Amino acid sequence: MGVRTARIVVLASGKGSNLRALHAHSLAQEDCPFEIVAVLSDKAQSGAVAYANEQGIPVALVPFNKDDERLKWDERLSATIDGFKPDWVVLAGFMRIVGGHTVRAFEGRMINIHPSLLPSFRGLHAVRQALKAGVRITGCTVHLVDHDVDTGPILGQAAVAVNDDDNEGVLQERIQRVEHRLLPAVINKLCGAATRAVQSNELLVV
Ligand code: GRF
C-alpha cells in the first residue's frame, strides 16, 4: 500500500509565486507525496487567491478587520486551518504575524519561507537588509515556525550570490527563483520522499 498523500494548507497574502511553484511541482512530480488542499489568505485581492481560484484550489479568507482583536482573529485563523485537516501548514508570504494560539496548535507542522540565510536578516525587508550589510552571499531559508519571528529550527537553505550591480528588486527576484526550488524540496523531504542528491555547484541543501 502506498504512503498517504500529505495534506498541505498554504497561507499567503501576496503575489503567490511560491504557491504557484509548489502547486506546479505537485502536479508535475510523479507520485508527489503532498497535495495543496487549501489556500488561506487575509487578502482577498491577492495574486495567491486569484491563482487558487483559477486552479480550483479551495480558498478561505481570514481578513484582519480594523476592530478585530488579535486573539479573536488568531482563533479564527487556527480554526479555519484546522478545518482542512492539514498535515503541514506552509507560510508562503503570509504578511501577518501568526499568533501564539495558532503556533501552538500547529507546532512542529508549520513552516515558513524567508528571503535570507537565517539567522541573518530576520523580519521585514530582508533583501534590503542584506544589501545594506554588504554581504556577498545571501539566499533563502525554510524553517519551522516557533513563537518568535523567523527564529525556528532551519530545515533547508539555498545560497544566492550578490552581484555588484544588484538592487533590491533584481536580487529579490533571483532569490525568489531559488525559493521556488527550495520550498518543494523541503516539503518533499518532510513528506517522506527521497531527495535528490545536491548537485555540485548548487548551494541548496535540505
Ligand atoms: C517570499 O519571498 C518569501 O520569502 C517571503 O514572502 C515572499 C512571498 O512571495 N516570506 P510570493 O507571494 O510567494 O511571490
- Predicted pLDDT of residue 200: 47
Confidence of residue 106 (pLDDT cuts 50, 70, 90): very high
How many other CB atoms sit within 10 Å of the CB of residue 39?
A: 28
pLDDT at 137 over 90: yes
**Beta carbons of 122 and 149 less than 8 angstroms apart:** yes
pLDDT score of 157: 97
The rounded mean pLDDT for the chain is 94
Distance 2 CA to ligand 1 centre (A): 33
Ramachandran angles phi, psi of 100, nearest 5°: -60, -35
pLDDT in tens, 13-57: 999 999 999 999 999 998 999 999 999 999 999 999 999 999 999
Q: Read off the pLDDT of each residue in 141-160 and give the average, rounded to a whole number.
A: 96
Phi then psi dihedrals of residue 14, to 5 deg: -115, -140
Cβ(152) – ligand 1 distance below 6 Å = no
The per-residue DSSP string of 100-151 comes to HHHHHHTTTSEEEEESS-TTSS-SS-HHHHHHHHT-SEEEEEEEE--SSTT-
- Whether the CB of 176 sits within 6 Å of ligand 1: yes
Looking up cell 491577492, which residue turns up?
A: 46
Helix (H) or strand (E) holding 21: helix 17-28
Percent of the chain with pLDDT over 90: 88
pLDDT for 2: 57
Output the residue whose Cα is nearest ligand 1's atom 7: 93
d(CA 185, CA 205): 9
- 81 burial level (CB within 10 Å; 0-12, 13-18, 19+): buried
Question: Among 1-10, 85-94, 177-186, whose mean pLDDT is lowest?
Answer: 1-10
Q: Is 114 a catalytic residue?
A: yes
For strands 137-144 and 154-161, give the pairing.
Answer: antiparallel
Ligand 1 centroid distance, CA of 112 (Å) = 10
CA of 43 to the centre of ligand 1 (A): 14
Q: Give residue 3's pLDDT.
A: 67
pLDDT over threshold 60, residue 101: yes
Q: DSSP 3-state assignment of 74?
A: helix
Is it the case that residue 93 has pLDDT exceeding 90?
A: yes
- Kindly name the residue from 23, 25, 114, 180 that is annotated as catalytic: 114
Q: Which of 10, 17, 94, 183 to mutate to test the pocket of ligand 1 (most atoms within 8 A of CB)?
A: 17
Helices (H) and strands (E) in the chain, counts: 6, 8
Q: Is 179 in the pocket of ligand 1 (CB under 6 A)?
A: yes
Is the shortest distance between the CB of 16 and ligand 1 below 6 Å?
Answer: yes
Round to whole Å and give the CA distance between 80 and 62: 8
Question: What is the structure's pLDDT at 165?
Answer: 96
Contacts of 85 by beta carbon, 8 Å cutoff, 6+ apart = 7, 37
Find the mean pLDDT for residues 82-86.
Answer: 98
97: pLDDT strictly greater than 80:
yes
Ligand 1 mean position, distance from CA 97 (Å):
14
